[in-house]
Amino acid sequence: MITRNPFMGLRGALLASAALTSFAFPALAEDAVPAEKKTVEDDKTVNLPEVVVTAPAMEQPMVIETDTNNPRTPIPPADGAGYLKNIPGFSVARQGGIDGDPVLRGIGGSRLNVLLDDTPLLGGCPNRMDPPTAYIFPNSFDKLTVLKGPQSVVHGGSALGTILVEREAPKFDKTEIRGSASALYGSHDRNDEVVDAEAGSKQGFVRAIATHSSSDDYRDGNGDALHSRYWRYSGSAIVGWTPDADTLIKLTYDESDAQAAMPGKMMDGTMFKRQGLNLEASRENITPWLAKVSGLVYHNYVDHIMDIYSMRYNLTGMGTMTAASQVDHLMQGGKLKAELTPDSATLINVGVDYNHDEHSARSQTLAEYRNGVDLDSKMRVRDMEFDTTSAFGELTRELSASDRVVAGYRLSYVQATRNNVQPNWTDDRTLHSGFARYERNMDLGLPVTTYASLGHVERAPDYWERNKVTSTDRTFKLATEKTEQIDIGALFKQGPWRGSASLFYAYTDDFILVASADAKNVEVRRWGGEGELAYQFLPSWSVEGTLAYVHGTNLTDNVALAQTPPLDTSLAVKYDDGTFLGGLLMRAVAGQHRVDTGWGSVIGQDIGETGGFAVFSVNGGWRVTETATLTAGIDNIFDKTYAEHISKTGTWAGGDLAAYNDNVRVNEPGRTFWMRGSLKF
């Protein structure tokens, strides 16, 4: 039987028993030494970094967790979306070198919650040139967790998937300084640098993180350069006070900026500024029945500029089109949560949260640009704002040593206001979301955990959907989406084997379908799932494979659901003896012939069918010491020319804007070389 602490992993309001997952392979035979560990002479065990080749594993029902600092292949990503791409079920709509938009099981946008240190974050661009993951700098966080499906109400109740990007408070038993640093260099002058240092004692700590990444235009398999160069940086400062082992007060400040050429857009992103300020306080072990009380207040602000002249220089024949647009998004709010333990087999999370976000914009015409009218001289106009107030409760109950149930309910009140019309448009919604999941540990010749879940999700239209038609309030008052979803699955881990399988079926009433300048409600059915299997056939050799599939149908129009990704599979062979490591990865994707041209989501619309492709990558590495690791790789070894089915449409040939073609997808990079070194101190 699988033994589990019923309260492990619930401190962060994750699902029941969410254990740390760093994509370690399953336990080996008794006489084998696990590759991710090495015993030194003083008999202490040192954890060595794992190289993620295919994907981080699901080791608890519907929860995937990975250390963002572990080396990985293909080339370690420069933004948050890149980390999600190798998790089964995820696709990423490429926009250029960075700032891809993630899609889980064919859904994205506000159907996918993204939280940074438990605070919501949204981009500002009406065309989603800056999705939330554009503001995630992976190496400045410690842990990335994905909750598939409506499996928790603690982190929000309006989503069919949740992405948690978190930093854990460091703990010190004595006064010391420690940290890490890494550097990467690759094709097209790609270079990344990260420094993370912390100092502290039992009474508190300070931590500082700095990141930088940049690249020139990359080339596809045809050798054609895509307009895709970028640079980005971030800085974070964290101060914590721990007067005793059960108390934490933490203040976090983040600041970042970037610039990115966009081959899939008629504009480039020339500013991606973000400022974030969080204050957290928590107290644990208060009474036998009150395990923890925590509070959080936050301020997130993004300021984004897109224009046609900073990174493109020939504006011949472009008439009076918009030359530049600046948008910002302010998000402020707070959260109070308590963890109750009425008995040793029960954990109850209860809380309330509030979020206010407001969006504003200003623009500059090409004529104004040519006449010297600066964008900064234009007035910002607040066009829409939202206020969301919620209360939630989530119960985890251990029924026996092998059975448990998890259930939750969230009630939300959302008020939306459009401010740049007279009189202002207003829209109020009361939303109900909840789920119930049953888990059972079974012994079927090997230990297996099975689960079944039923979830209900209600989602109000977001800024991008409400803004599709501005002449009337038709899309501003689109109907509320209502989804019922069933999830079932199983996972096991014994000896040299590890695997999992998950299936889902979802029916959505009033699904919001989006065109380039329109939106409508339809009935939708989606089903599919993911699977993974790994086998350690020798002490240092492993083979692992994954697959993901989703099938979507627009029942109202009796057509395929637009922007549905095709079957996606991967197969890898991996070597790791604790000192030297390497791997060969094949990713094979089927063609997608079920499309609905012109329709999709806020991320993009279908432009036609796509063919399948297969891409091979290889990597190798050397753990020089217990604290230093070198890795290198070649991605897309055979220089394959291909594009993902879900991709930003349009390419810019580089001569002038008239060369922009919106009937093609953005090609992925061709053969790419890279090498990375990391050091802990």
- Residue-wise pLDDT for 167-179, tens only, equals 999 999 999 999 9
Q: Contact, 519 vs 468, CB < 8 A? A: yes
Amino acid 573: pLDDT: 95
Per-residue b or e along 364-395, where b marks 16 or more CB atoms closer than 10 Å to that residue's CB: bbbebbeeeeebeebeeeebbbbbbebebbbb
Chain Cα centroid distance, residue 332: 21
Structure confidence at residue 265 (pLDDT): 83
- What residues does each domain of the chain span? 37-680
CB within 8 A of 377, min separation 6: which ones? none
Collapsing DSSP to helix, strand or coil, 465 comes out as helix
Separation between Cα atoms, residue 119 and residue 135, nearest integer Å: 13
Which one-letter DSSP state was computed for residue 77?
-
CA distance 130 to 146: 21
The whole-angstrom separation of Cα 321 and Cα 324 is 9
Separation of alpha carbons 278 and 7, rounded Å = 26
Give the max Cα distance, the chain.
77
Average pLDDT, rounded, for the chain? 88
Spatial distance between the Cα atoms of 550 and 527, rounded to a whole number of angstroms = 6
Percentage helix, strand, coil, to 5, in the chain?
5, 55, 40
Determine the pLDDT at residue 506.
98
What pLDDT is stored for residue 367 in this prediction? 87
Can you tell me which residue has the tokens 């099975």? Answer: 450
pLDDT at 138: 79
pLDDT at 445: 76
Predicted local confidence at residue 656, as pLDDT: 53
Superfamily per CATH, domain 37-680: TonB-dependent receptor, beta-barrel domain (2.40.170.20)
pLDDT (0 to 100) of residue 42: 37
Segments in the chain below pLDDT 50? 1-46
DSSP per-residue string spanning 85-143? TTSTTEEEEB-SSS--EEEETTEEGGGSEEEETTEE-----TT-SS-GGGG--GGG-SE
**Cβ-contact 208, 197 below 8 angstroms:** yes
Element spanning 609, H or E: none
Look-up of token digits 């859904």 = 107
Antiparallel, parallel or unpaired: β 161-166 and 113-116 = parallel
Which H/E stretch holds residue 426?
Answer: strand 425-443
pLDDT of 548 reads: 97
DSSP state of 380: P
